[in-house]
């Protein structure tokens, strides 16, 4: 994929970490149909890209994303033929929910500035989220006549405690990074000038893990939520077999050997030494 030709997104690669940003700073990175299409294509491409070990979803300029573009997403699509709307819904939900939430690689939301409405979908679909203290979060839908649609209400109800979910969906009250951290909406809030360093630190932690074990683990954490006990037992056993099948480093035996025989590490505090990383 030729990212230089993309007008609405920006891709930057740094030592195994790929920063994929919405690039409409003049519109506070509101998501237009063109943004959705480019993000849809980029995510598919980067999932199979060997240089991308960890994916960071970012925003160019002073905003992460001001949500759906109220003009291009809502007003201009109101009177389009249903087939256009249907196609558009597929790309828009496709990258933010279907693909991102089960991405093969670890994903981090690096939230600077505004994170509004529909942007909560990709926020919660990322495996991790780190924001700057001065970020502004708002479920603004209530303030202009809709409910948090797509899957935002579902996402929020699954992420926040019931009191906070109800309060912020019904008031639309804005809150900052520290509050988002306290509610468990994000992992961490840091001063703005430390945001990127904190994200890179976490990304590098992820890069030390075996990618197949990490992939199975993060997908399992997401999937087991809706399962009952027996479904989860079966699913996790199957996922465990999947790791054995896909993991070319044989992490399981490597880990046992390095701990039990070589006594070279303690799993409680660090990952085993990956042969591929040497």
Strands 9-14 and 188-190 turn out to be: unpaired
- The count of other CB atoms within 10 Å of the CB of residue 102 is 13
> How many Å apart are CA 185 and CA 160, to the nearest integer?
6
To ligand ACO, the closest distance from the beta carbon of 148 in angstroms equals: 7
Instruction: Look at the chain and count its residues.
Output: 278
Asked whether 211 and 53 are in contact (CB, 8 A), the reply is yes
Give the interface segment with ligand ACO, choosing from 102-110, 115-123, 154-162, 234-242 (CB under 6 A).
115-123
> How many Å apart are CA 200 and CA 54, to the nearest integer?
10
Which C-beta is closer to ligand ACO: that of 153 or that of 217?
153
Residue 117 touches ligand ACO, criterion: CB under 6 A? yes
Which C-beta is closer to ligand ACO: that of 38 or that of 69?
69
Residue 59 touches ligand ACO, criterion: CB under 6 A? no
DSSP helix/strand/coil, 176 = strand
Residue 116 touches ligand ACO, criterion: CB under 6 A? yes
Token duo for residue 96: 């933010």
| List of residues 6+ apart from 109 with CB closer than 8 A | 56, 57, 64, 122, 123, 126, 128, 129, 130, 131, 186
Q: What is the CA radius of gyration of the chain?
A: 20
How many residues bind ligand ACO (CB under 6 A)? The answer is 15
Beta bridge partners of residue 175, listed in sequence order: 137
Give the interface segment with ligand ACO, choosing from 76-84, 116-124, 211-219, 224-232 (CB under 6 A).
116-124
Show the CA angle centred on residue 134, arms to residues 143 and 97, nearest 5°. Answer: 60
Binding mask 65-94 for ligand ACO (x = CB under 6 A): -xxxxxx-----------------------
Q: According to CB under 6 A, which one of 114, 137, 168, 272 is a site residue for ligand ACO?
A: 114
To ligand ACO, the closest distance from the beta carbon of 124 in angstroms equals: 14
To ligand ACO, the closest distance from the beta carbon of 6 in angstroms equals: 20
Residue 196 touches ligand ACO, criterion: CB under 6 A? no
Residue 28 touches ligand ACO, criterion: CB under 6 A? yes
CA end-to-end span of the chain, whole Å?
30
Token duo for residue 148: 């948090």
To ligand ACO, the closest distance from the beta carbon of 34 in angstroms equals: 13
Whose CB is nearest to ligand ACO?
117
Residue 118 touches ligand ACO, criterion: CB under 6 A? yes
Residue 141 touches ligand ACO, criterion: CB under 6 A? yes
Residue 27 touches ligand ACO, criterion: CB under 6 A? yes
Which C-beta is closer to ligand ACO: that of 106 or that of 148?
148
Give the interface segment with ligand ACO, choosing from 47-55, 62-70, 162-170, 205-213 (CB under 6 A).
62-70
> How many Å apart are CA 82 and CA 84, to the nearest integer?
5
Asked whether 12 and 48 are in contact (CB, 8 A), the reply is no
Binding site for ligand ACO (CB under 6 A): 27-28, 30, 66-71, 114, 116-118, 140-141
């Amino acid at each position: 994929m030729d990212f230089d030709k993309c007008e609405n997104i920006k891709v930057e690669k740094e030592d195994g970490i790929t920063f994929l940003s919405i690039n409409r700073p003049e519109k506070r990175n509101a998501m237009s149909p063109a943004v959705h299409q480019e993000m849809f294509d980029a995510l598919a491409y980067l999932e199979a890209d060997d240089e991308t070990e960890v994916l960071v979803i970012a925003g160019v300029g002073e905003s992460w994303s001001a949500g759906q573009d109220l003009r291009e997403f809502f007003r201009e699509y109101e009177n389009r033929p249903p087939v256009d709307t249907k196609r558009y819904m597929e790309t828009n939900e496709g990258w933010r929910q279907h693909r991102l939430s089960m991405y093969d690689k670890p994903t981090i939301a690096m939230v600077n500035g505004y994170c509004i409405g529909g942007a909560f979908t990709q926020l919660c679909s990322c495996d991790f989220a780190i924001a700057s203290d001065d970020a502004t979060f708002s479920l603004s839908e209530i303030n202009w006549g809709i409910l948090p649609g797509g899957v935002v209400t579902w996402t929020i109800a699954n992420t926040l405690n019931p009191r906070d979910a109800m309060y912020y969906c019904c008031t639309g009250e804005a809150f900052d990074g520290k509050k988002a951290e306290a509610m468990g909406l994000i992992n961490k809030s840091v001063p703005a000038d430390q945001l990127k360093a904190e994200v890179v630190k976490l990304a590098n932690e992820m890069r030390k893990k075996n990618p197949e074990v990490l992939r199975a683990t993060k997908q399992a954490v997401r999937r087991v939520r809706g399962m009952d006990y027996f479904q989860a037992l079966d699913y996790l056993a199957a996922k465990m077999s999947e790791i054995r099948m896909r993991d070319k480093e044989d992490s399981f035996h490597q880990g046992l050997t390095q701990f039990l025989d070589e006594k070279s590490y303690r799993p409680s505090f660090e990952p085993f030494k990956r042969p591929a990383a040497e």
